[in-house]
Amino acid sequence: MSDAPETGTLPRANRVISIPHFELGDRLSAEQSDFFETYGFIRFKGFVARARAAELHAAMNEIDRALVASRVDKVNGVPLIFGRRADGTRYLQRIPFASLQHPAFREFLRDPRFRGILETAGTGYRIGEEERDGLVINRFRNEPGARYKRLGWHTDSLRDLFYLEKPRRYLNVGFYLTDSPPEVGGLRLLPCTHNQPISSLLLRKRYFIDDRPDPDEFAVTAEAGDLTIHDGRLWHRTALATLHGDASERCVSYLPLMDGPLKRKHAGSSTPLYFRLKKLVGY
């Protein structure tokens, strides 16, 4: 971790940081845990082989076709976000509860290494397959018909407040279905901001509206098959791709690791207020 920022310091503008090449075993090593707890995120290379990531991408397309054909606009109360291709056809840009909709994703979550990640989260944590949005697949594309091209600054823990819960430790596990070089935009984060008082969790930036680059931000690049974990309290955004159309497609799924009372979503679940906020600011 030679060129990683020093413990407890934020990287300054234009400083190039390369993340160490971490691979995930049965559980996080002491060095990996340290990195994660210090910066609030970590990336593991090659969690699955590229070919397996491609199979999961194909499974995503199957869910997409089924949902578009079924004409539903929500799954378990969570609104679907659609985009339109240049040829007029519709596609999903955000698929919640993917593992409840396709066996390939259900199987993916049975990987024993998720147990090791849960240990890092803390005792009593579980995979939130039926909570919040479950395993959600984001499909960012940069084209005129896309609604989900980028995301403004936010923390994922804001949602806890909308569920009338105190923001607590909650980890978000990212899995890359496609490559994510800088040209497709992607995750930009402010390292170490998971250790912040509630005032900065609420007020450091204007939620979802502010999407300007920050001099202290760090770009997370990844390849298909890589896995990330970030702390829900970490400030982050999704940058707009510089490429367009098919070349700009970036698919990354997120899985919440939860503790506390289990609140399963179901077909009759109401739409959380949180999505009204997102809609108000254009998503």
What is the contact surface with Fe ion in residues (CB under 5 A)? Answer: 156
CB of 105 to Fe ion, least distance (A): 19
Nearer to Fe ion, 22 or 41 (CB): 41
Per-residue interface string for the shown chain with ligand AKG, residues 150-189, x marking contact by CB under 6 A: -x----x-----------------x------------x--
Binds ligand AKG (CB under 6 A): choice among 121, 135, 173, 252: 252
Tell the smallest beta-carbon distance from residue 151 to Fe ion (Å): 7
- If one asks whether residue 99 binds ligand AKG (CB under 6 A), the answer comes out as no
State the nearest-atom distance from the C-beta of 187 to ligand AKG, in Å: 4
Q: Residue 194 interacts with ligand AKG (CB under 6 A)? A: no
Comparison of 35 and 140: residue with beta carbon closer to ligand AKG: 140
Q: Which does 138 bind (CB under 5 to 8 A by kind): ligand AKG, Fe ion, none?
A: ligand AKG
Interacting positions 57-86 with ligand AKG (CB under 6 A): none
Note whether 248 binds ligand AKG by CB under 6 A: no
Binder among 99, 238, 248, 253 for ligand AKG (CB under 6 A): 238
Rounded to a whole number of angstroms, the minimum distance from the CB of residue 6 to ligand AKG is 26
The answer to whether the beta carbons of residues 142 and 182 sit under 8 Å apart is no
Q: Which of 188, 176, 221 is CA-nearest to residue 46?
A: 176
Contact between 138 and ligand AKG per CB under 6 A: yes
In DSSP notation, the chain reads -TTSPPTT-PPPTT-------B---SS--HHHHHHHHHHSEEEETTSS-HHHHHHHHHHHHHHHHHHHHHT--EETTEEPEEEE-TTS-EEEEEESSGGGT-HHHHHHTT-THHHHHHHHH-TT-EE-TTSTT-SEEEEE--STT-S-S-EEEE-TTHHHHHTT------EEEEEESS-B-GGG-EEEE-TTTTS--HHHHHHSS-TTT-----TT-EE--B-TT-EEEEETTS-EEEEPPSS-GGGG-EEEEEEEEE-SS-----TTPPPPTHHHHHHHTT-
Q: For the CB of residue 176, give the shortest distance to ligand AKG in the complex, in Å.
A: 9
236 touches ligand AKG by CB under 6 A:
yes
Binding site for ligand AKG (CB under 6 A): 138, 151, 156, 174, 187, 236, 238, 252, 254
